[in-house]
Amino acid sequence: MTDSAGRHDLAGLKALVTGGASGIGRATADLLTARGADVAVLDRDITAVDKPLRGYAADVTDDETVRAAVATAVADLGGLDILVNNAGIGAQGTVADNDDAAWHRVLDVNVVGMVRTTRAALPALRRSRHAAIVNTCSVAATAGLPQRALYSASKGAVYSLTLAMAADHVREGIRVNCVNPGTVDTPWVGRLLDKADDPATERAALEARQPTGRLVRADEVAGAIAYLASPLSGATTGTSLAVDGGMQGLRLRPAGQ
Ligand code: NAI
Number of domains in the chain: 1
User: Per the domain annotation, does 54 fall within a domain?
Assistant: yes
C-alpha 170/C-alpha 238 separation (Å) is: 9
Mean pLDDT, residues 223-251: 97
> Whose CA is closest to atom 4 on ligand 1?
22
**Which residues sit opposite 52 in a β-bridge?**
none
How would residue 143 be classed by pLDDT, with cut points 50, 70 and 90?
Answer: very high
User: Per the domain annotation, does 248 fall within a domain?
Assistant: no
Ligand 1 mutation target, pool 89, 137, 241, most atoms within 8 A of CB: 89
User: Per the domain annotation, does 168 fall within a domain?
Assistant: yes
User: Per the domain annotation, does 229 fall within a domain?
Assistant: yes
Mean pLDDT, residues 127-132: 98
Domain coverage including residue 43: 14-181+216-239
Give Cβ neighbours of residue 18 (< 8 Å, ≥ 6 apart): 25, 41, 42, 43, 60, 84, 85, 86, 87, 113, 114, 117
Q: How far is CA 113 from CA 119, 161, 231, in A?
A: 10, 12, 26
Ligand 1 mutation target, pool 16, 17, 18, 22, most atoms within 8 A of CB: 22
User: Per the domain annotation, does 32 fall within a domain?
Assistant: yes
Mean pLDDT, residues 15-24: 98
CATH number of the domain within which 144 lies: 3.40.50.720
Which pLDDT value is given to residue 219? 98
C-alpha of residue 3 to centroid of ligand 1, in Å: 32
Q: Is the minimum distance from the CB of 55 to ligand 1 under 6 angstroms?
A: no
- Stronger pLDDT, 1 or 165, i.e. the higher one: 165
User: Per the domain annotation, does 45 fall within a domain?
Assistant: yes
Task: Collapse the DSSP code of 180 into the 3-class scheme (helix H, G, I; strand E, B; otherwise coil) and give the result.
Answer: strand
Q: Mind listing the pLDDT tens digit for each residue in 152-191? A: 999 999 999 999 999 999 999 999 999 999 999 999 999 9
Question: What is the rounded average pLDDT for all residues in the chain?
Answer: 96
User: Per the domain annotation, does 203 fall within a domain?
Assistant: no
Which pLDDT value is given to residue 7? 78
pTM attached to this predicted model: 0.97
C-alpha 98/C-alpha 113 separation (Å) is: 20
**Which residues sit opposite 132 in a β-bridge?**
82, 175
User: Per the domain annotation, does 34 fall within a domain?
Assistant: yes
User: In this structure, what DSSP letter does residue 2 have?
Assistant: B
Q: Is the minimum distance from the CB of 1 to ligand 1 under 6 angstroms?
A: no
Q: Mind listing the pLDDT tens digit for each residue in 59-107? A: 999 999 999 999 999 999 999 999 999 999 999 999 999 999 999 999 9
Point out the residues that are catalytic. 151
**Which residues sit opposite 38 in a β-bridge?**
14
Q: Is the minimum distance from the CB of 138 to ligand 1 under 6 angstroms?
A: yes
